[in-house]
A and B are shown apart, each in its own frame.
Chain A
């Protein structure tokens, strides 16, 4: 009895209108952890937009009568060494951290994808030159490379974006190149070629879509890394200016109070930790759903 039901369902499915988005959603729904992480990130994005309006205090306004106070009803996350409200600073800082990481990753994504497509599609000498350049960049640890770049450009939040972008480019390039190499062997690419389609058309219309699912996974993972790197640079005094409520800056200025008022470092620390964790969990979830190798097993 039951077997027949299943059989009929299976038989019916292809007939129902197939939508990759729907199928993706059906599978993704099952990844509870990733789902929770997604909700968290969604909230974070909302906060990035409305943070400055809902913050209970001015994040820049010092109050020398209330320095280093622990969490209380008046200050949910306590106050820092100038008596500024840490909760308000975290809310306002969300926008900075997310903007920096998203823009760095997307800039890296665009540059890396184009290089990867060119490298994989044309092959030969072009491929060699691009890939060897990437290898040079890979030979430096990410954060070290970023520090060196900021040392050249000078400290500042925009230069942090550039630095994080530059160390993201080679990873994207290599990933896309791999996907391109396998995609260009497809028969439809050959068909397009024989019909006289231009290189640009083949690359963007036929090959690029094949790389998207892998890119999506990688981007999510990369955003987490970017947040860490940007906070790290700010922690070292190479990023945002010291009065900015950027999470890494807050962490850095609070470290002197670790023994006496630990909440000053704890709060931004938790914010960074949760955000990076959430992005990585989403990345894991997406990979489980999108990666054909894992999906089938």
Chain B
């Protein structure tokens, strides 16, 4: 099956290449089924002062805000869709479509006072009824099961008046308020009439209105003039996925793109010396690690996992792989995330690593596979791990797979026994305020693939208990205490090789203002202007 898909994809690519090289195609851009990526847009771009072009590193996957897992899709949606609440750049909760909200003592009732005079892009009015339709879609649609975390605890949604709504839960859920920030509102008419279209056409209340999405090439939106918060912003915004680092940088340098994210770290020096471009770095909430399958030999041995951690020089990792940007990951969550507590990290010590391996019964090391996607930064990171583990006798075999195949291989395993994954070079990001999302999907025993992302198959009843307790209380002091315990408990078990926390680097042309990238990788264009 994978092969078939791959071949079809390759043939599609090849057909496109042939079409491009024959140099006589004028209308190729319209069918939109191929992955042209970097080279195509050059000819058609008018880059006038009222069109903003932003190049990002990956394709967008879905425009359904209730079923989106990847950062880039989220970033694009954020310009067109809004939730009751939102997040500022520090990850703090802000009020967006809700003017005000209150939570009852027992943490079961959430009452929202809605903003008045808000319109959806299709002319529908935003009111309590619209909110109800959205919440019901999330709770009722089976396909959104994975995404409905928190919403599955909703007992009732009650319309108090046209601009007031009350949501009641069956049991308290600590991070519920962030869930209201994540869930964006779609026009109720769109939900009722065009349910199938939602993943392709977003209709929200945001400052920009969807125009078109040509898969793999670009997604365009235009200013929504009836937006509730003024319309002093650029008239048109186009997002282009450009996976190739070099092309993306070149686009920024020539002005073909007004902003790019991410800027590859190795290109920072050349861009910083360029007066047409401004490069900004932001500490992120993106944790980078190698998950270790704690269910299978030899990684089921705690000493082996600790040995791997001791064998990796994290300073060198930051220097070589991240070109000196970012910090070490010294807990199971990044330092920007709430309730973070620094742990005594596994300081680089090859001798200790060797001793631990010998104690565990592997004096001569072993052979193991590491998986990752084909992104050039991932390749670099995996090679680094390979080099670091060689001195302790662990021979690492690099297996890089195209993102879709990789995800199928990992989440195709229905039980821990079936899993073939041993080590996965990967990263995880969540909003700074959403500590649940930064822990439960990764360490809870109910989160094994295919349910969620506990690819270390980490199974610790004590940790489960701590997470469950923390989630069922809204007492912040209690949460802080529970999460502190959790971090200590999990970090010592070393279900990952803890590497680093990324630094977000983005570049903007100097005549552009108001384009910002947040710590989770979300791009905001709400106030974008071109001089």
Same complex origin of A and B: yes
- On A, residues with C-beta under 8 Å from B are 60, 62, 64, 67, 81-82, 141, 144, 147-148, 151-152, 237, 241-243, 253, 255-260
Judged by a CB distance under 8 angstroms, whether B267 is at the interface is yes
Q: Kindly state the separation between the CA atoms of A256 and B264 in the bound complex, as whole angstroms.
A: 8
- On B, residues with C-beta under 8 Å from A are 3, 6-7, 10-11, 14, 18, 245-246, 249, 264, 266-267, 269-270, 313, 316, 319-320, 374, 376, 379-380, 382-384, 386-387, 397-398, 400
Q: Kindly state the separation between the CA atoms of A150 and B342 in the bound complex, as whole angstroms.
A: 46
Do A237 and B380 touch across chains, with their CB atoms under 8 A apart? no
Q: Are A260 and B269 CB-contacts (below 8 A) given A62-B387, A148-B11? A: yes
User: Shortest CB–CB separation between residue A34 and chain B, in angstroms?
Assistant: 31
Do A256 and B400 touch across chains, with their CB atoms under 8 A apart? no
When distances are taken between beta carbons in the complex, the residues of chain B under 8 Å from A148 are 7, 10-11
Question: What are 14 sample pairs from A and B whose C-beta atoms fall under 8 A apart?
Answer: A64-B313, A64-B316, A67-B319, A82-B387, A141-B18, A147-B14, A148-B7, A152-B3, A237-B374, A241-B397, A243-B383, A256-B267, A259-B249, A260-B267
Q: Are A151 and B3 CB-contacts (below 8 A) given A144-B14, A241-B398? A: yes
- Across the interface, name the chain A residue whose C-beta is closest to B3: A152
Do A147 and B18 touch across chains, with their CB atoms under 8 A apart? no
Do B14 and A141 touch across chains, with their CB atoms under 8 A apart? yes
Q: Kindly state the separation between the CA atoms of A141 and B3 in the bound complex, as whole angstroms.
A: 20
When distances are taken between beta carbons in the complex, the residues of chain B under 8 Å from A82 are 320, 383-384, 387
Main secondary structure on B side of the interface with A: helix
Q: Are A256 and B376 CB-contacts (below 8 A) given A62-B387, A241-B398, A243-B386? A: yes
Q: Kindly state the separation between the CA atoms of A243 and B389 in the bound complex, as whole angstroms.
A: 14
Do A257 and B266 touch across chains, with their CB atoms under 8 A apart? yes
Do B379 and A242 touch across chains, with their CB atoms under 8 A apart? yes
- List the 7 closest pairs (A to B, CB-CB), nearest first: A144-B14, A64-B316, A259-B270, A151-B6, A62-B387, A256-B245, A242-B379
Which of A64, A241, A257 interacts with B319 by CB under 8 Å?
A: A64
Q: Kindly state the separation between the CA atoms of A62 and B320 in the bound complex, as whole angstroms.
A: 10
Q: Kindly state the separation between the CA atoms of A260 and B273 in the bound complex, as whole angstroms.
A: 12
When distances are taken between beta carbons in the complex, the residues of chain B under 8 Å from A64 are 313, 316, 319-320
User: Shortest CB–CB separation between residue B67 and chain A, in angstroms?
Assistant: 29
Do B246 and A255 touch across chains, with their CB atoms under 8 A apart? yes
User: Shortest CB–CB separation between residue B101 and chain A, in angstroms?
Assistant: 46
Q: Kindly state the separation between the CA atoms of A64 and B384 in the bound complex, as whole angstroms.
A: 10
Additional 7 contacts, C-beta under 8 A, given A241-B397, A242-B398: A64-B313, A82-B320, A152-B7, A243-B387, A256-B266, A256-B267, A260-B270
- Across the interface, name the chain A residue whose C-beta is closest to B376: A256
When distances are taken between beta carbons in the complex, the residues of chain A under 8 Å from B6 are 151
- Across the interface, name the chain B residue whose C-beta is closest to A154: B3
When distances are taken between beta carbons in the complex, the residues of chain A under 8 Å from B386 are 243
User: Shortest CB–CB separation between residue B229 and chain A, in angstroms?
Assistant: 40
When distances are taken between beta carbons in the complex, the residues of chain B under 8 Å from A147 are 10, 14
When distances are taken between beta carbons in the complex, the residues of chain A under 8 Å from B400 are 237, 242
User: Shortest CB–CB separation between residue B248 and chain A, in angstroms?
Assistant: 11
When distances are taken between beta carbons in the complex, the residues of chain A under 8 Å from B398 are 241-243
When distances are taken between beta carbons in the complex, the residues of chain B under 8 Å from A253 are 376, 379-380
Q: Kindly state the separation between the CA atoms of A255 and B247 in the bound complex, as whole angstroms.
A: 11
User: Shortest CB–CB separation between residue A143 and chain B, in angstroms?
Assistant: 9
Do A259 and B320 touch across chains, with their CB atoms under 8 A apart? no
When distances are taken between beta carbons in the complex, the residues of chain B under 8 Å from A243 are 383, 386-387, 398
- Across the interface, name the chain B residue whose C-beta is closest to A67: B320
Q: Kindly state the separation between the CA atoms of A173 and B11 in the bound complex, as whole angstroms.
A: 26
User: Shortest CB–CB separation between residue B436 and chain A, in angstroms?
Assistant: 36
User: Shortest CB–CB separation between residue B138 and chain A, in angstroms?
Assistant: 38
- Across the interface, name the chain B residue whose C-beta is closest to A68: B266
When distances are taken between beta carbons in the complex, the residues of chain A under 8 Å from B267 are 256, 259-260
Q: Kindly state the separation between the CA atoms of A243 and B383 in the bound complex, as whole angstroms.
A: 7
Q: Kindly state the separation between the CA atoms of A242 and B379 in the bound complex, as whole angstroms.
A: 7
When distances are taken between beta carbons in the complex, the residues of chain A under 8 Å from B3 are 151-152
Do A260 and B11 touch across chains, with their CB atoms under 8 A apart? no
When distances are taken between beta carbons in the complex, the residues of chain A under 8 Å from B264 are 256
Q: Kindly state the separation between the CA atoms of A241 and B264 in the bound complex, as whole angstroms.
A: 23
Q: Kindly state the separation between the CA atoms of A151 and B3 in the bound complex, as whole angstroms.
A: 7
Q: Kindly state the separation between the CA atoms of A259 and B266 in the bound complex, as whole angstroms.
A: 9
- Across the interface, name the chain A residue whose C-beta is closest to B15: A144
- Across the interface, name the chain A residue whose C-beta is closest to B245: A256
- Across the interface, name the chain A residue whose C-beta is closest to B400: A237
User: Shortest CB–CB separation between residue B7 and chain A, in angstroms?
Assistant: 5
- Across the interface, name the chain A residue whose C-beta is closest to B270: A259
Q: Kindly state the separation between the CA atoms of A237 and B378 in the bound complex, as whole angstroms.
A: 13
When distances are taken between beta carbons in the complex, the residues of chain A under 8 Å from B266 are 81, 256-257, 260
Q: Kindly state the separation between the CA atoms of A158 and B14 in the bound complex, as whole angstroms.
A: 23
Q: Kindly state the separation between the CA atoms of A82 and B400 in the bound complex, as whole angstroms.
A: 19
Q: Kindly state the separation between the CA atoms of A211 and B426 in the bound complex, as whole angstroms.
A: 55
When distances are taken between beta carbons in the complex, the residues of chain A under 8 Å from B18 are 141
- Across the interface, name the chain B residue whose C-beta is closest to A84: B387
- Across the interface, name the chain A residue whose C-beta is closest to B396: A243
When distances are taken between beta carbons in the complex, the residues of chain A under 8 Å from B270 are 259-260
When distances are taken between beta carbons in the complex, the residues of chain B under 8 Å from A257 are 266
When distances are taken between beta carbons in the complex, the residues of chain B under 8 Å from A242 are 379, 382-383, 398, 400
When distances are taken between beta carbons in the complex, the residues of chain B under 8 Å from A81 are 266, 320, 380
Q: Kindly state the separation between the CA atoms of A141 and B11 in the bound complex, as whole angstroms.
A: 11
When distances are taken between beta carbons in the complex, the residues of chain B under 8 Å from A60 are 387
- Across the interface, name the chain B residue whose C-beta is closest to A259: B270
Q: Kindly state the separation between the CA atoms of A101 and B491 in the bound complex, as whole angstroms.
A: 49
Do A151 and B10 touch across chains, with their CB atoms under 8 A apart? yes
Which of B7, B313, B320, B383 interacts with A151 by CB under 8 Å?
A: B7
- Across the interface, name the chain A residue whose C-beta is closest to B21: A141
User: Shortest CB–CB separation between residue A52 and chain B, in angstroms?
Assistant: 18
Do B246 and A256 touch across chains, with their CB atoms under 8 A apart? yes
Q: Kindly state the separation between the CA atoms of A82 and B376 in the bound complex, as whole angstroms.
A: 14
Q: Kindly state the separation between the CA atoms of A260 and B320 in the bound complex, as whole angstroms.
A: 15
Q: Kindly state the separation between the CA atoms of A255 and B248 in the bound complex, as whole angstroms.
A: 13
When distances are taken between beta carbons in the complex, the residues of chain A under 8 Å from B320 are 62, 64, 67, 81-82
Q: Kindly state the separation between the CA atoms of A237 and B3 in the bound complex, as whole angstroms.
A: 16
Max chain A CB contacts within 10 Å: which of B264, B379, B384? B379
User: Shortest CB–CB separation between residue B375 and chain A, in angstroms?
Assistant: 10
User: Shortest CB–CB separation between residue A242 and chain B, in angstroms?
Assistant: 5
- Across the interface, name the chain A residue whose C-beta is closest to B5: A151
User: Shortest CB–CB separation between residue B485 and chain A, in angstroms?
Assistant: 36
Q: Kindly state the separation between the CA atoms of A243 and B267 in the bound complex, as whole angstroms.
A: 22
